[in-house]
Amino acid sequence: MTEKQTIIDAMKRNAKDNGYYVCPDQQLFSDLIDGLAKNTARYGYGSCPCRVASGAKKYDVDIICPCEYRDADVNEHGMCYCGLFVNEKIKNNPSQMGPIPERRPQEVIDIVLTAAEKKPSASEEASNQPKPRKKTGAIRVWRCTVCGYLCAREIPPPLCPICKAKAERFEPFIIS
């Protein structure tokens, strides 16, 4: 079985298990799977095909497909940021697919790309069609002091998704 078919099967299975559907636009679906395959070959993990990855898994863990933001986006917009996962309504009306706001906090995007010294090029930024979500001011960036994982939330997560350290091991992250 090819790498692409393996990813297709995994995404279809994941969609079914979660009550979603895969992208009804066959060309877009194929392009997104190609992007995932490319990112998997490049980074060793399937980071989101619509976002610029840092290349360091500890910084990109929230955008490994299916990303942390998928469920909220499908709930609110009927589709994930890329459109790889959709709800039944969008599946039956693919013409309703369109850009949705980026739910990944801009603070996290800025910090991980700076930390990884990989600022997106102008063309990469331009290719991310949806506009970044507005800053709310209520979100802080937290760093796991054990493994370095970064996340943006009002309070630290109860457990680090990477090393399972407890919330008290997180500290506010500030770039000096």
Query: Least separation, in Å, of the C-beta of 169 and ligand SF4?
Result: 26
Q: Does 84 bind ligand SF4 (CB under 6 A)?
A: yes
Q: Which two tokens stand for residue 8?
A: 């297709």
Which of 130/146 has CB closer to ligand SF4? 130
Q: Does 103 bind ligand SF4 (CB under 6 A)?
A: no
Which of 80/170 has CB closer to ligand SF4? 80
Query: Least separation, in Å, of the C-beta of 27 and ligand SF4?
Result: 15
Q: Does 70 bind ligand SF4 (CB under 6 A)?
A: yes
Q: If binding means CB under 6 A, how many residues of this protein chain bind ligand SF4?
A: 14
Binding track over 27-56 against ligand SF4, x by CB under 6 A: -----x---------------xxx------
Single out the residue of 72, 21, 66 nearest to residue 45, CA to CA: 66
Task: From residue 128, give the alpha-carbon distance in Å to each of 17, 27, 41, 146, 171.
Answer: 28, 18, 21, 32, 30
Q: Does 112 bind ligand SF4 (CB under 6 A)?
A: no
Which of 98/167 has CB closer to ligand SF4? 98
Query: Least separation, in Å, of the C-beta of 102 and ligand SF4?
Result: 9
Kindly tell me the burial class for residue 44, based on how many C-beta atoms sit within 10 Å of its own C-beta (0-12, 13-18, 19 or more).
exposed
Q: Does 81 bind ligand SF4 (CB under 6 A)?
A: yes
Do 135 and 103 meet the contact criterion of CB atoms below 8 Å apart? no
Q: Would you call 121 helix, strand, or coil by DSSP?
A: coil
Alpha carbon distance 114, 80 (integer Å): 25
* Cβ partners under 8 Å of residue 95, min gap 6: none
Summarize as ranges the residues that interact with ligand SF4 (CB under 6 A). 32, 48-50, 63, 65-67, 70, 80-82, 84-85
